[in-house]
């Protein structure tokens, strides 16, 4: 006789299991569902495991499950897999770089199966590092550190960029993109009493009022902000979105921060804009990555660089699964999930035309 408690199958590699699953989260999951772990290895970092043997193992395990949670190592939860799981009600992705490579979301939606992901677990440290880069850039701290390394330990002069423009309080901050990272960054910015303006064609019309920002155009964000933060995901629509024309809109004495993806910004155009010396950049990402040792960007005094570390923390690895357990607690407790993959959210991630509203 089938148990009345929901059954959840977790499909992932040994590395994900050992690094991401905390005992307290597994205990929480045990309180709401019977669960099992299917260890599978293979597939690219954000791609599905296409090994026939792995797919066969998955198919053999899903017959009576109510929920499936996938991550690195899992095959794609395809229409065929869903049809082999007649009790399946929810599918969750732990860490898929936002594109649901391991879930056929359209097939799930057609079957009334809910789809969620908690990839945004890394948004927390990215938002923190975005704030850090804003502050570092406003002080042009990269240049100060370069001077110290070169033996010049004197305080900056009174006409130094950081002396003149170094405070964030009361300034205008412009966000290019306002998804999970942007909304967390808005919270972190609140104590600085800044005015926040955002460009995001996918942002629902009621959201600006709810989070206290002004929705505007890309041109307005670039030309009317003291600090500009690029948070746009890499999609066909955003690749190279910030080119020479856009960079020329940035006013003198502003700072430009990028914690999204390097390919969203034209690297050559960015270097040329920075060589004019009137703005400062804080970059966690660049195109190409890793940054070539001979790249001109490394030698520019008005740039602070970090090697794509914004979202890479141990806490974020734990958070992927912790947030997923939260979702399963909500869903099996009769509540709505918070982080659902919907046609609107997937259109955003894939760079499709934005819905109105």
Residues annotated as catalytic (active site), given as ranges: 261, 289, 308
* Other Cβ atoms within 10 Å of 240 Cβ, number: 13
* Other Cβ atoms within 10 Å of 317 Cβ, number: 20
* Residue 150: HSE in the Cβ half-sphere, 13 Å Cα cutoff: 10
Q: Which residue has the tokens 């599905």?
A: 48
Tokens linked to 117: 């992901």
Angle at 208 between CA 206 and CA 214, to 5 degrees: 140
For residues 202 and 347, the answer to whether their CB atoms sit within 8 Å is yes
**153: Cβ–Cβ under 8 A, 6 or more apart, which residues?**
147
Beta strands in 78-237 (DSSP E): 90-93, 114-117, 172-176, 195-199, 214-215, 227-230
Please, what sign has the CA dihedral across residues 123, 78, 48, 62?
positive
The rounded distance, in Å, linking the Cα atoms of 341 and 93 is 10
- In eight-state DSSP terms, residue 190 is G
The rounded distance, in Å, linking the Cα atoms of 25 and 326 is 9
């Amino acid at each position: 006789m089938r148990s009345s408690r929901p059954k959840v199958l977790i499909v992932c590699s040994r590395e994900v299991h050992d690094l991401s699953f905390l005992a307290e989260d597994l205990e929480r999951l045990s309180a709401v569902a019977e669960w099992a772990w299917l260890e599978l290895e293979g597939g690219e970092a954000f791609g599905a495991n296409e090994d026939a043997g792995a797919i066969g193992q998955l198919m053999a395990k899903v017959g009576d499950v109510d929920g499936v949670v996938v991550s690195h190592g899992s095959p794609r939860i395809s229409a065929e897999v869903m049809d082999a799981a007649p009790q399946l009600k929810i599918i969750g992705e732990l860490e898929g770089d936002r594109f649901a490579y391991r879930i056929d979301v359209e097939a799930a939606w057609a079957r009334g199966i809910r789809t969620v992901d908690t990839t945004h677990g890394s948004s927390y440290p990215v938002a923190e590092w975005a704030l850090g880069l804003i502050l570092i850039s406003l002080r042009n701290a990269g240049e100060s550190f370069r001077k110290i390394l070169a033996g010049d330990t004197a305080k900056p002069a009174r006409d130094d960029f950081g002396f003149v423009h170094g405070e964030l309080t009361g300034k205008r901050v412009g966000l290019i993109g306002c998804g999970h990272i942007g909304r967390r960054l808005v919270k972190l910015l609140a104590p600085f009493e800044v005015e926040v303006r955002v460009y995001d064609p996918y942002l629902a019309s009621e959201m600006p009022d709810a989070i206290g920002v002004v929705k505007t155009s890309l041109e307005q964000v670039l030309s009317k902000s003291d600090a500009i933060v690029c948070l746009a995901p890499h999609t066909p629509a955003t690749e190279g979105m910030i080119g020479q024309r856009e960079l020329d809109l940035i006013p003198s004495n502003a700072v430009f921060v990028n914690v999204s993806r390097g390919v969203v910004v034209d690297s050559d155009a960015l270097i040329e804009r920075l060589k004019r010396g009137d703005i400062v950049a804080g970059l966690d990402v660049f195109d190409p990555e890793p940054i070539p040792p001979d790249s001109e960007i490394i030698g520019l005094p008005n740039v602070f660089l970090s090697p794509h570390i914004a979202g890479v923390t141990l806490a974020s690895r734990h958070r992927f699964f912790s947030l997923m357990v939260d979702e399963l607690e909500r869903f099996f407790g009769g509540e709505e999930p918070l982080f659902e993959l919907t046609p609107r959210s997937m259109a955003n991630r894939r760079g499709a035309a934005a819905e109105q509203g």
